[in-house]
Amino acid sequence: MNTLSVAVVGAGYWGPNLARNFAGSPDWRLAAICDLDLARAEQLAHRFAGAEAVTDLAAVLADPSIDAVAIATPARTHHAVALAAIAAGKHVVVEKPLADSKQKAREMVAAARTAGVVLMTDHTYCYTPAVLKIRELIEAGELGDILFVDSVRINLGLVQPDVDVFWDLAPHDLSIIDFVLPGGLKPLSAAAHGADPLGAGKACIGYLTLPLPSGAVAHVHVNWLSPTKIRKMIIGGSRRTLVWDDLNPQQRLSVYDRGIDLETQALDGLERRAATVSYRLGDTWAPALSEREALDAMASEFATAIREGRHARTDGEAGLRVLAVLEAASRSLESGGDPSRLEPEKELAGDLA
């Protein structure tokens, strides 16, 4: 396998994490760190042998030896930087969110498809060992049909100056749900209820309800004001229920063979039917998890998608689906919690052109 060459664009908060993992990956050669602040780019580039510090993005994109760019700039710039990279024939991975609007994300997805390059969203949580195992168990049918997803992400957090609690915290949960559900997260509507008890001018506590086409429902609770930190997701299936407690390193995943079995039968041969409820109380077990940094797995998936000419597991469309839900949540919040319908996106399935 040929080693691929990548430039990291943005040396601020997330750029160093991307640079470290690309530099340490056997799939990649970290060629350049690009940032408007040359001193900051140089400080990061000096950590990695062979990485050049540059300020000119156009020069990076014009370099034929660079195969891909990793974008870790503010969300409002993702659209412009990604489109320029795609136009230059580069494969692109973008720090979440994919863009700051669904329309811009849609343009990025369409441009990548036309150019035949990989566009990947860095939904980092999706590459943690726990979430990869959840996806594997659901794909294998271990949980049966999914009946509900209940996710809680609360802590005493920083009140963001530019976004509410939905846009700050819920993208993590939405990207995970999108990753593990067969076919991705495609709710019929979004109903958001928020509260601003601090008078911060934005929702600091939020509840988001997403009815799914299968009849299941997903619910996300996010909160900046909780004195206790909780990161937990419960996925209930017709066969088993899975609990992911991200703050429990001893047992992050638990699978419960417990549930309700509902059977219906005809009464006296007539059309009337009666339901018989039985409760299943089985064993609980903890799946074994591998030890690997999520960003390392993300970098490997990016390289594999490029080599195989396919969409990445968290491709541009995954980022688009998350943005569609967030925008629907904002519309619902503005209307006082009325459900906001989501129109299905036209998918670009299959291998790259």
Looking at domain 126-290+324-341, does it have CATH number 3.40.50.300? no
Q: Which of 201, 219, 200 is nearest to 209 (CA)?
A: 219
Q: Name residues whose C-beta falls within 8 Å of residue 330's C-beta, 6 or more positions apart in sequence.
A: 166, 167, 192
Q: Name residues whose C-beta falls within 8 Å of residue 32's C-beta, 6 or more positions apart in sequence.
A: 7, 8, 45, 51, 52, 53, 54, 60, 63, 66
Domain spans of the chain?
Answer: 4-125+294-315, 126-290+324-341
CATH assignment of 4-125+294-315? 3.40.50.720
Please give the C-alpha separations between residue 205 and each of 105, 154, 222, 226, 242, in angstroms, as whole numbers. Answer: 27, 9, 6, 9, 25
Own/partner pairs, 282-285, CB within 8 angstroms, 24+ separation: 282/256, 282/257, 282/258, 283/257, 284/254, 284/255, 284/256, 284/257, 284/258, 285/254, 285/255, 285/257
Q: What is the pLDDT along the chain (353 residues), one digit of tens a residue?
A: 689 999 999 999 999 999 999 999 999 999 999 999 999 999 999 999 999 999 999 999 999 999 999 999 999 999 999 999 999 999 999 999 999 999 999 999 999 999 999 999 999 999 999 999 999 999 999 999 999 999 999 999 888 888 999 999 999 999 999 999 999 999 999 999 999 999 999 999 999 999 999 999 999 999 999 999 999 999 999 999 999 999 998 999 999 998 777 665 555 555 555 567 777 788 899 999 988 999 999 999 999 999 999 999 999 999 999 999 999 999 999 999 999 999 876 655 456 65
